[in-house]
C-alpha cells in the first residue's frame, strides 16, 4: 500500500541526516540539555541551544528545525518559545513540541496549550499521559512521568492529531505515530531507556533532526523512532547498567547505518 511503502522507503533517513547535517535549534530542558546536544551530534546533525529572548528568534532563522521542550518551565521561557516558533513558521521549518509534564500542574498545561494555539506545531511528541492531557483524555501524571491513561494509545494518538492538526508521536514501550489518518506502531527500544534521565527529551532531538531532513512528517517520525529504538537495543546489549547504557546509546546511534535500521526496525503500518 502507498503509505506503507512510503514509510519503508524513509527508514534509512539517518544516512541523509548525516549528509545534510541540519542545524537544530533547541529551547529545552535544563536538566537534559547536554544529552540533547550530544544525541543530535550523534545523529549527524548540529545542535544549538539559544534561549535568550534577545536572540532566540534570530537563531531559529538560521536553523533547519526547532525543538521546544517545557521540562524546566518558567513564564518568560514561554514567550521566548512563541517568538522562536513564529520565526520557524515564517521560515517554513518543522517545530517539535515536547510537552514535558503536561497535566502535572495547571501552569504546564496552560503553557503547552498556549504554544499550540500560537505556533504551528509540526510534531507533538510525548508520553501517553502528556498526549492524553492535550487530547482531553483523563490521565495520571507523576511529575514528568506517565501514569495511567483512560484510553488505548492508538485512539489517544489519533484524537490528539485530529484536534491539533499535527503529527503525534506517543512514546513508550510501543511508539504510536499518526497524523490522524495513517497510524504506525514502532516496537523498538529497551527497558533501560526508562532508567536514564533524558531519553524522552533526546528522542525529540532525534525527531527534529529527521524532520529537518525528510519531506513527509509521518515517515520522518517513524524513521526517527525506529532508529532511536534500534540504537537503544544495540546499546543495551553492550551496557552493564544505566550509566554505561547512556554512553553506549550515543555510540550506537553514531555508528548506525540506514540499512541496519531497515533490517532491525519493527514497524507496523495500520493505515
pLDDT tens digit string along 194-217? 999 999 999 999 999 999 999 999
- At 44 the pLDDT is 98
In the block, which residue shows the cell 507496523? Answer: 268
Report residue 107: phi and psi, to 5°.
-60, -45
Instruction: Tell me the sheet residues that pair with 168.
Output: 124, 178
Residue scoring higher pLDDT (104 or 245): 245
d(CA 166, CA 176): 13
pTM of the model: 0.93
Q: Which residue numbers belong to the known binding site for ATP?
A: 125, 171
Binding residues: 49, 125, 171, 198
Instruction: Kindly tell me the number of DSSP H helices and DSSP E strands found in the chain.
Output: 12, 11
List residues forming the annotated binding site for substrate: 49, 198
More confident: 172 or 251:
251
87/38 Cα distance (integer angstroms) = 25
* pLDDT tens, residue by residue, 43-73: 999 999 999 999 999 999 999 999 999 999 9
Work out the pLDDT band at 1, boundaries 50, 70, 90: very low
Where do the domains of the chain lie, and which CATH numbers do they carry?
Answer: 2-269 (3.40.1190.20)
Amino acid at each position: 500500500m502507498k503509505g506503507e511503502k512510503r514509510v519503508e522507503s524513509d527508514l534509512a533517513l539517518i544516512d541523509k541526516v548525516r549528509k545534510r547535517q541540519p542545524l537544530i535549534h533547541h529551547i529545552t530542558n535544563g536538566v537534559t540539555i547536554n544529552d540533547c546536544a550530544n544525541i543530535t551530534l550523534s545523529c549527524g546533525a548540529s545542535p544549538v541551544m539559544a534561549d535568550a529572548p534577545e536572540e532566540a528568534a534570530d537563531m531559529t532563522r538560521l536553523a533547519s528545525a526547532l525543538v521546544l521542550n517545557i521540562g524546566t518551565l518558567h513564564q518568560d521561557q514561554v514567550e521566548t518559545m512563541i517568538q522562536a516558533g513564529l520565526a520557524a513558521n515564517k521560515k517554513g521549518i518543522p517545530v517539535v513540541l515536547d510537552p514535558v509534564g503536561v497535566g502535572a500542574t495547571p501552569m504546564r498545561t496552560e503553557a503547552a496549550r498556549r504554544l499550540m494555539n500560537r505556533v504551528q506545531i509540526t510534531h507533538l511528541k510525548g508520553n501517553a499521559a502528556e498526549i492524553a492531557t492535550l487530547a482531553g483524555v483523563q490521565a495520571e501524571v507523576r511529575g514528568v512521568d506517565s501514569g495511567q491513561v483512560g484510553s488505548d494509545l492508538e485512539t489517544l494518538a489519533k484524537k490528539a492529531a485530529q484536534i491539533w492538526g499535527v503529527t503525534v508521536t506517543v512514546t513508550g514501550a510501543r511508539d504510536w505515530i499518526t497524523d490522524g489518518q495513517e497510524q504506525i506502531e514502532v516496537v523498538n527500544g529497551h527497558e533501560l531507556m526508562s532508567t536514564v534521565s533524558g531519553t524522552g527529551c533526546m528522542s525529540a532531538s532525534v525527531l527534529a533532526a529527521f524532520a529537518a531532513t525528510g519531506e513527509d512528517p509521518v515517515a520522518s517520525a517513524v524513521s526517527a523512532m525506529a532508529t532511536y529504538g534500534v540504537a537503544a537495543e544495540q546499546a543495551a546489549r553492550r551496557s552493564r547498567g544505566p550509566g554505561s547504557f547512556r554512553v553506549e546509546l550515543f555510540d550506537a546511534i553514531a555508528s548506525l547505518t540506514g540499512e541496519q535500521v531497515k533490517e532491525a526496525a519493527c514497524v507496523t503500518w495500520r493505515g
